[in-house]
Amino acid sequence: MSFPRLTPLVFLTLSVLSGCAGDAVVPEPKPEIVAFIARDAKTRITWFYTSDIDGKNLVRISAVSAPTTNKIAVARSGRFLFYTGKSGSELPLMVFDATAGTVRALGTATAVFPTLSPDGSRVAWFEMLAGQFSLVTCNSDGTGRMVLVESNGERSIRVEAAPAWSPDGSNIAFSAMDTTSRNAAGPVPHVINVANKTVTRYRTPDGTAAPQWLSNDVIVYLVGDRGAFSLVRYQLSTGADTTITTSLPTLNSRMISVSPDRSTIVCANPLTIVDIASGAVKVLASNDATIHDHMWSTSGNEFVYGDRTSNTLYTDRLYRMSKRGESLALPAIDTLGSSSSAVWLR
């Protein structure tokens, strides 16, 4: 019996596949990094930090002026910090450039909820213009400021939570009163196409708050006030709505946060974790937890949030939690001072 002759190339290929697979170099996973601000209890100076989630590689970047709200955005791997700060009598959005060591205001009016786009290229926030809120965006370095949508005769923007970027970054969802409908039960979801500025209102059956995204075609929002709260899923293309759960406790915040893998929703306060597939609810004690879309790890298995240490004290600290509600260690960070503002760098 004759056998085919192996060419040198085939022989080399077979050698690699059979004998060298065990020697393949597997790249180490990227470190999970959080960026946060903390106020030193002795000096009263507020510092901007980054750190691996396990407490290693803690870097104190720079002192910054104290934010006036707990929601921050961090762009370009920690170079740019967006926060609401005091400038004279107003509270505009500020951007701190860690490389240049400079800080500047991105407007002259009160601003809230800076939120980074999924690809990290843009920041969106709400700003008080002419006595009403507008939706504003800029590039991730603070340039290219643009007013996307204003409150007008057709809508009045309701600011109870951050603007919500769709997973592909093409749209932003927000709540607004539909002033064209006499039968409106409350604010309803509005979606603006970022590229062409087209605004679409969705007349949901109930007044809604804090729309967030489950996919590019499905949003989720809270329904209820001063009593039973529900989470409802709404498909934009068909108008179909389904209830995820009606078992939520009374909540003092309209903000909700969806994990990157779209499996879990967190509400506050009390801190409430909802499994989207089953509707199962786990309620954890919290005082004034700050939740947002960039509090999640890249895997979506855990999150970091800020909360007051008690109902009577105004001292804040950061907490680390699994999406199942298990408390996790957050070493080295707690000793740096009061902190309630943190984001996971993606």
Can you give the C-alpha Rg of the chain in angstroms?
Answer: 23
pLDDT score at 10: 39
Tell me how far the alpha carbon of residue 260 is from its chain's centroid: 10
Considering the domain boundaries, does residue 137 fall inside one? no
User: By the 8 A CB rule, do 317 and 305 touch?
Assistant: no
Give the chain's end-to-end CA distance (angstroms, integer).
60
Asked whether residue 325 is domain-assigned, the answer is: no
Long-range contacts of the stretch 279-285 (C-beta < 8 A, 24+): 279/244, 279/245, 279/247, 280/245, 281/245, 281/247, 281/248, 282/324, 282/325, 283/249, 284/321, 284/325
Q: Can you give the three-state secondary structure of 218-244, one letter per residue?
A: EEEEEECCCCCEEEEEEECCCCCEEEE
Amino acid identity for residue 314 in this structure: Y
Overall number of domains in the chain:
1
Query: Does 234 reside within a domain?
Result: yes
For residue 23, the SS3 value is helix
Residue 224's pLDDT is 78
Burial class (CB within 10 angstroms; exposed 0-12, middle 13-18, buried 19+) of 196: exposed
* Strand stretches in 33-154, DSSP E: 33-39, 46-52, 59-64, 73-75, 80-84, 93-97, 102-105, 111-116, 122-129, 132-139, 146-150
- Dihedral sign, CA of 221, 224, 227, 229? negative
Quote the domain boundaries for residue 184: 151-248
- Closest Cα to residue 207, out of 225, 189, 186? 186
The per-residue pLDDT string of the chain (346 residues; one tens digit each, 9 = 90 and over) reads 443 443 443 333 333 334 444 444 544 456 799 999 999 888 989 999 999 998 889 999 999 988 888 899 999 999 999 999 877 667 899 999 999 999 999 998 999 999 999 999 999 999 999 889 999 999 999 999 999 999 887 788 999 899 999 999 999 999 998 776 666 557 889 999 999 999 999 988 767 878 999 999 999 999 876 667 899 999 999 999 999 999 999 998 889 999 999 999 999 999 999 999 999 999 999 999 999 999 999 999 999 999 988 877 668 899 999 999 999 998 888 778 888 889 999 7
CATH number at residue 192: 2.40.128.660
pTM of the model: 0.88
The Cα-based distances of 109 to 27, 93, 104 in angstroms read 47, 8, 13
Q: Which two tokens stand for residue 76?
A: 């370009």
23 in any annotated domain: no
Residue at 90 is within a domain: no
Contact (CB, 8 A) for 103 and 64: yes
> Which residues, listed in sequence order, are joined to residue 192 by a DSSP beta bridge?
172, 199
Residue 217: alpha-carbon gap to chain centroid: 19
DSSP 14: H
Residue 35 forms part of a structural domain: no
Residue 11 pLDDT = 34
Tokens found for residue 178 = 């539909």
300 occurs within a structural domain: no
Find the angle CA(187)-CA(217)-CA(295) to the nearest 5 degrees: 75
Position 181 scores a pLDDT of 64
Report d(CA 195, CA 78) in Å as an integer.
26
Could you tell me if residue 41 is inside a domain?
no
In Å, how far are 10, 16, 194, 285 from 6, measured between CA atoms?
Answer: 6, 14, 58, 69
Residues across the chain: 346
Longest CA–CA span in the chain (Å) reads: 94
Distance in angstroms (rounded) separating the CA atoms of residues 41 and 45: 8
